[in-house]
Every structure is written in structure tokens, then in C-alpha cells.
Amino acid sequence: MEQSVDRHLVSDAPIGLFLSGGIDSSLLTLIASRTQKENLHTLSIVFNEKEFSEDRYQQLIIDKTMQSISRFL
């Protein structure tokens, strides 16, 4: 899986990942952050209703990877 992610990270422009806070997007972000220290950006959607928002899970991954994030309501 790591090799596949690395192959998709070849770019001369910033790379963006959708980080929902779920297992799949969190794992992809963690793997991608190993090789893309400065060129990786994440995009997340949050909700005002805390019972629907996965903001806390998104923040755990962002804190671990130190990547930039854009959040939208």
C-alpha cells in the first residue's frame, strides 16, 4: 500500500487529500505524510453538530502529521 501511495504522489504542484477522519483517509494521509513533508495539504468537512462531525479524528491525524488543513462547514 505504501508503494502505491508513493507512486501517486509524484507531482510538481501541491498535493491535496480529502481527510474525512475515517480509517481510509486517515491511513492515506499518514502514509503520504512520510514522503510529502511540505507539499501535502488536506481538505476536511466539519459540521456544527458535534454528533455528526469527525473533527476530533481529523485533528488527531493533523497533529500527528503536522500538515496544513482547510476545513469547510
Give the pLDDT confidence score for residue 13 in this predicted structure. 83
Cell 505504501 locates to 2
Name the pTM for this structure. 0.84
Q: State pLDDT tens for residues 41-56.
A: 999 999 999 888 999 9
The angle at the Cα of 60, spanning 59 to 66, to the nearest 5 degrees, equals 80
Nearest to 19 by CA among 52, 66, 54, 50: 54
Sequential pLDDT tens for the chain (73 residues): 999 998 988 888 888 999 999 999 999 999 999 988 777 899 999 999 988 899 999 999 999 998 888 989 8
